[in-house]
Amino acid sequence: MSLWNWSGFFGYLFNPFILGGVVTTIWLTVVSLIAGLILGFALAMMRRSRLRSVQTLAKVYIWLFRGTPLLVQLIALYTALPLFGIRLSVIEAALVGLALNEAAYLAEIIRAGIEAVPIGQTRAARALGMTERQIMRYVVMPQAFKVIIPPLGNSVNGLLKTTSVTSVISMEELLRRTQVLIQERFMVLELFAVAAIYYLLLTTLWDVFQRHIEKRFGQADSKLSVSEKH
């Protein structure tokens, strides 16, 4: 009995059902990332608030979602919320769960980037009459973004693979569709190899894009430094 079926492997490498799972994995990552960034930024601002109650609320949220497995959070959203009259579809539960979890990590990344900007620049901007919103938009965030990019890129890389956890609530992303075909065709190694190749391809493409962004911002810094010297 053969342990590996090459024809089965190549046959499913470009299978429309698998490719549909790849597409789902991509948009699931993108939508969750955008929602996570918005919520993460809000949490980062709350962590820096002067109101202790607001700080505490953000700290508890981050502690809770970073301290419990995403798997548990997804199951709670999909199976426990209906007990309180709140019913989410599989897609809604997957997106909400990923976004809430990712926001807890992105909040700390964003906060660290903001706090890396020298406080003297903020004070100088206030002295020039800029509002807090203008300071954040034109002074703090452009500099913080350079610090945020590397860990943010790693977070996106991890999120691409973490979407596979949503398969436990029957979200038909890449891993779930792979499991469905395995149950039908019994080609375990071949189909898992196909899934692994696509995950590797997605993360590799993101790594290339991330390096391009980091290089571009590095070149911008170099040009700025040269202009300041002249």
Residue 187 pLDDT exceeds 50: yes
Q: Locate all alpha helices (DSSP H) within the chain, ordered by sequence.
A: 6-13, 16-47, 52-67, 70-75, 90-115, 119-127, 132-134, 141-162, 174-185, 188-229
Q: What is the pLDDT of residue 215?
A: 83
Tens digits of residue pLDDT in 29-61: 999 999 999 999 999 999 999 999 999 999 999
Domains in the chain: boundaries: 14-229
DSSP per residue, 33-91: HHHHHHHHHHHHHHHT-S-HHHHHHHHHHHHHHHHS-HHHHHHIIIIIGGGGT----HH
* % of the chain with per-residue pLDDT over 70: 93
Q: What is the pLDDT of residue 221?
A: 55
Residue 125 pLDDT exceeds 90: no
Residues 74-78, mean pLDDT to the nearest whole number: 93
Burial of 45 (0-12, 13-18, 19+ CB in 10 A): middle
Q: When comparing pLDDT for 137 and 69, which is higher?
A: 69
218 — pLDDT class (breaks 50, 70, 90): low
228 — pLDDT class (breaks 50, 70, 90): very low
Residue with tokens 């977070």: 155
Q: What is the pLDDT of residue 186?
A: 87
Q: What is the pLDDT of residue 145?
A: 85
Q: Which CATH architecture has domain 14-229?
A: Orthogonal Bundle (1.10)
Contact 160, 199 (CB under 8 A): yes
Burial of 80 (0-12, 13-18, 19+ CB in 10 A): exposed
